[in-house]
A and B are shown apart, each in its own frame.
Chain A
Amino acid sequence: MRPFPFILFLVLSASLVAMLLKSAEEKSPASNVNAPFPIISVASLDGKTMWSPEALKGRVTLINFYASWCTPCATEMPELAALAKQFPKLHLAGVAWNDEPKTLTKWLAKNGNPFASTWLDSKGDATIDLGIKGIPETIVVDSTGTIRYRLAGPLTAAMREGEFGALITTLLAEANHAK
């Protein structure tokens, strides 16, 4: 019996299965880039105000999902502060997942608060609505309320000075042009 056809068959079968599994893995992260930012259910730190989709209209908004217990989030804060300084017209909103208002307030005071508005996602509804698995995650929304970019993991200086910064510049110019 010639073993070659069997070996070839096994190799081809294994390759097909590996290809299918890889393809399923690659397709798995849902990407809602270019979709409208959903209406999320989050409250302000004092619990008095709920998020309104109107807040996104007419300005470029960066929404950062983070938490006071998240170490990479703390390392990202100086970069977000530098970004806010670099782009004064960029609106930075922070959504804290599974956090306590008192703990978060202290943490923001300690680590520097780069956000123009801070929100609490205590039940995880917004996090689930956006398909988030880990924090920090940053979502950039243009002046029409459309998601234009998602970044899983912390923003770095290299990103801010590179493609990410260029994207913000483009989006702010688009927003300015639309006015």
Chain B
Amino acid sequence: MRNSIALLVAFAWLGTAHAASIDQPLTEAVQEKTAHAIFRELRCVVCEGQSLAESDATLAVQMRAHVRELVAEGKTEDEILAYFSDRYGEHILLTPRMEGKTALLWLAPLLLLGGGAVAVWRTTRQRNGENS
């Protein structure tokens, strides 16, 4: 905790910099639509709870430009999301991918619900048995 606070004090987050550049939309409407779909899938890494689409932070503006460049180069949505998660980690993806290490995250709610249902069923059955 102390280390985290020290890092915050000693660190200039790239969201607070001056001279934010302006978004330059792609000329092709289909490509721009793809870029926007990707903006909504990526987390702003220097903000709290915002997607790349919503953020005005300088790094977010630059990331949007970077996404547009990759779209213009012909990269697919999956390739671009992989590019960002390779560099910033899975945390940057607002919808985590279903794969080995995240499978438990996806399945946990179902497991918890199933476990809860079994516990309720067993307790109810036990109570009914005691009452009869």
Contacts and interface: CB of A to CB of B under 8 A. Distances in A.
Contacts of A20: 104-105, 108
Interface string B60-94: 00110110000000000000000001111111100
A10 B62 CA distance: 43
Nearest to A73: B12
Contacts of B86: 30, 131
Interface stretch (A63-71, A85-93, A107-115): A63-71
Nearest to A21: B105
B119 A30 contact: no
Contact of A135 (B12, B91, B92, B112): B12
Query: Looking at chain B's contact residues, is the secondary structure mostly helix, strand, loop, or mixed?
Result: helix
Contact of A72 (B12, B18, B85, B112): B12
A134 interface: yes
A141 B92 CA distance: 26
A128 B108 contact: no
Contact of A153 (B10, B46, B102, B115): B10
Contacts, number: 115
B72 to A, nearest CB: 14
Interface in A12-56: 13, 16-17, 20, 24-25, 27-30, 32
A119 interface: no
A72 B10 contact: yes
A127 interface: yes
Interface string B9-32: 111111001110100000000000
Interface residues of A, number: 41
A67 B89 contact: no
Contacts of B9: 72
A28 B89 contact: yes
B10 A154 contact: yes
Contact of B87 (A70, A71, A130): A130
Contact of A131 (B6, B10, B21, B87): B87
Nearest to A35: B86
Interface stretch (A1-9, A157-165, A171-179): A1-9
13 contacts: A6-B123, A27-B90, A27-B91, A28-B92, A30-B86, A98-B62, A123-B65, A124-B65, A129-B87, A133-B88, A134-B11, A136-B12, A152-B7
Interface of B: 6-7, 9-14, 17-19, 21, 45-46, 58-59, 62-63, 65-66, 85-92, 96, 101-102, 104-105, 108, 112, 115-116, 119, 123, 127
Given A9-B116, A124-B58, 8 more contacts: A9-B115, A20-B108, A24-B105, A98-B18, A124-B62, A128-B66, A129-B87, A131-B88
